[in-house]
Structure 1
């Protein structure tokens, strides 16, 4: 019997969080961080982009309180303000609060921010930086690759010396196997499939930006796209230059640009698109009645992009059957 769905949806939290600088901060820091992640929009809604939320310090105080026996304890305004400032610039916060911060910690925080804030009428507009990347499941290794109890990485003391040396050699071999496995899945940036994936992504970004929807495709998994491009070139035997011409035509056409939002959809409709492009059928300009359908086009692109994101993991799994 199927279990009922858990209401309210979910957020993704990387296992690596326990190795990050926020894990070394007081517990209230991670609590506020999880609260912000949970309240951020998973998809555009009422003027908010994906990964954004409106909030205020009093609201964070009220939602991050905790029980001590029968009474509630609340964080102070200064505590929440300091946490928000640290999330805006972890490197600066650590250097000011701990002059003896480790080199590893300083390097891991270098040039990074976790949130961007803008003052709003009653508080802040907070944008979670790189929300689209970290909240996309396809950007993570599978649990089998990274969390197998039988091939855990050796624990180390503060000086980096393994504390369980018996497992070191075993883990070195496992690490090499994992690296080799990941390399077989990855496409170099100068490879033809990767370049073609980037080319299509840039074309989609250009018209999505004109519609104010660029944020929907910013977090696309280019490695997954590159794998679909490889199938298009190697399995379907498509000419790279012809593929580019088809992409140019399809992403300029008002109808097809709403339907070709990934290499998978391009591959599915390729024959039809190639025939139209070869016939030098010029894309219809968006004028008159087509202009009136702008809002409808935006909604359709939103829905299709969500479906594409949901299907990207399946697309990657298909790789094993075709290689």
Structure 2
């Protein structure tokens, strides 16, 4: 048997609740067995009996068996006369109607009065299993600096340069998780915010990876941007020619030169003593 019925708490205040327990047991049995949909049953005389919602075709003996119970391991079943007396009490209290067939023996049709009004009203809505909504696919995050863009190109170029330095120094793991988007953003800040010329930035990139000191200390775009001023100064200083001391003229050089002049028969008055 499937399905369910609705019991009201107000039944605790009803007359049947004040009667012996078998009365309420019979009442519950009837509520459990009445039809929930209209139906037709073929009869022995070839006719069909229409059974409506809230009705049940049964017999006094069947009800007696239905409300039986075990007590101390023995099956106890009320007397059919007791069941008949209970049904009549229910009829008198306007709870049910009992119809009998021909000669009072063909069938017993029990109708629960006001079945629809108290059973269907406020009928509990069957909670449908909520189907979880499919989560919308996450939109792929659009890269701010796509491949081929100027700042992305600067990032990948410099990453390739410092990667060679890191490999030679045995610290390649420091660049394993480099984010080219972050590197590209550092170069954007360098060019747009710090107003550094791209050609100068490229020149410093090539120089810094060759410098013995800075090549070991600048292994990221952020460090390159933060130290750029120092790097550019150091680069320019490294390229400036060394100042050569001016050689002072020795006064004796002119005397030696004059002696040679005279030895060669030169005119003393014609010798050029200017430097």
- Please give the range of the TM-score, normalised by the shorter of the 2 chains: 0.3 to 0.5
Bigger radius of gyration? 2
Q: TM-score, normalised by structure 1?
A: 0.34
